[in-house]
Structure 1
């Protein structure tokens, strides 16, 4: 079941993932620069990506009523990344996340998408969001700061068990 939510920014359309997004997610899940700081191992096959879509965003839509959005570049209709919120059961927090193909980095898209997602999160009655960020991921720290997040400290996350990730947070 998909979320019946579509968000629009000046350059992006944020919509629910579908199983038809396997190819786009495969691109995101196999580019070393994209997954460098997130703890995911590179996808070995499109079946891996299909499993991921079913077990994460599509499941989250059903369980929580929200999840990550596919970010579609308006100019071409291409899925170029994702942004959205995800409930992290391990730390009992709702996280804002964002991930884009490298050719779209440095254009303010994570900030643009994140701002739209924060507005959406406010409609859900949430009062706080976090961003769990690898300490070496300077770009992500800058995005979080631009979006009004402040460094709260460190946290533990099994996906990032090789490092102590930073916990940024903001009220919404």
Structure 2
């Protein structure tokens, strides 16, 4: 599995994820239409150009898109960052999420980020398992932008 920041030619891989209802049901509870996805993608590319962190295309040895990953520093506190990931259903249950989370933690540590958080659907047992195996702890559950949400956090200064 390899990571690279998204670039313009990668839109189809991103759209394959966000247009897939199985992927999106525990993220936005809806597939994202193409024009909305293009707008989001352009914003992601702009962010990638100006940040050492960003939005990543995760792909297999043969170059096929497998997942999306993000490491986004908090605007108010750049020592804190959000991680997130989306994985195509055919790659679920194969350790991809754990590999992605591990890689994002290493990248965050290299960038000098002191703590991470992830926002998940409280019903997403697989994502919770991935994060708790990485020593994230649940710190909040409730309504998050109109959807069920749970925040899990990891203090990188105490992670060994």
- TM > 0.5: yes
Match of 1:170 among 141, 145, 154: 154
Match of 2:64 in 1: 78
Task: Tell me the CA shift for residue 82 of structure 1.
Answer: 1.2
Q: What's the TM-score, normalizing by structure 2?
A: 0.86
Task: Tell me the CA shift for residue 88 of structure 1.
Answer: 5.1
Match of 1:157 in 2: 144
| RMSD over aligned Cα atoms | 2.1
- For 1:13 and 1:22, the matched residues in 2 are separated by 17
- For 2:64 and 2:123, the matched residues in 1 are separated by 29
- Say whether the 8 Å CA contact 1:90–1:157 is kept in structure 2: no
Match of 2:40 in 1: 52
Task: Tell me the CA shift for residue 156 of structure 1.
Answer: 5.3
Task: Tell me the CA shift for residue 140 of structure 1.
Answer: 0.7
Distance 1:37 1:24, change over 3 A: same
Unaligned stretches of 5+ residues in structure 2:
none
- Say whether the 8 Å CA contact 1:83–1:110 is kept in structure 2: no
Q: How many residues align?
A: 155
Match of 2:7 in 1: 18
- Say whether the 8 Å CA contact 1:81–1:98 is kept in structure 2: yes
Task: Tell me the CA shift for residue 89 of structure 1.
Answer: 4.8
Q: What's the TM-score, normalizing by structure 1?
A: 0.81
Secondary structure of 1:97 counterpart: strand
- 5 Å-filtered alignment, 1:102-141, equals 102-141=89-128
